[in-house]
Copies of this chain bind each other. A is one copy, B any other.
Amino acid sequence: MVRVLATGTFDILHPGHLLYLSKAKSLGDELYVIVARDSMIKHKPKPVIPEAQRLAMVKALHMVDKAQLGSEKNIFEPLCRIKPDLIALGKNQFFDERNLESELKDHGINAKVVRIHSFKECELCSSASIIRKIMERYGKSN
């Protein structure tokens, strides 16, 4: 059994998330997902959808075996319990694979880190582009 872990914000779900999670799942037998806490998202705009709802939506996806919220203190803490064999990073996740592997080792987690380069190209394949479309359509009358 190879346990794969994927992580992300998963703000407004779109086919880019589906591609990332399907590719992650295909690397092993079971897919665990950690959904980022609202309080831990500091490098990009705050999500529109609150963390509990983002988690509920990710849990409803057929390729996801288990999903939970991340820690608000230490990102390594849930990993110690999940014990993933493999961590699948998305194309835009800012960690360096080798540095992360070595940091994981320092926390007693022997997981391989791989980058998923597949990327969905479509008009509304990002939460930002969905927000942009809503603003274009409804912004004028506000």
The segment from A92-100, A109-117, A132-140 that touches chain B is A132-140
A61 at the interface (CB under 8 A from B): yes
* B48, A137: Cβ atoms closer than 8 Å: yes
Interface range for A: 20 to 34
A41 at the interface (CB under 8 A from B): no
- Stoichiometry, as copies per complex, reads 2
A10: min CB distance to chain B, Å: 11
A65: min CB distance to chain B, Å: 10
Write out the residue numbers on chain B whose beta carbons fall within 8 Å of the beta carbon of A131.
Answer: 134, 138
A interface with B by C-beta (< 8 Å): 12-15, 18, 48-50, 53, 56-57, 60-64, 122-124, 130-131, 133-135, 137-139, 142
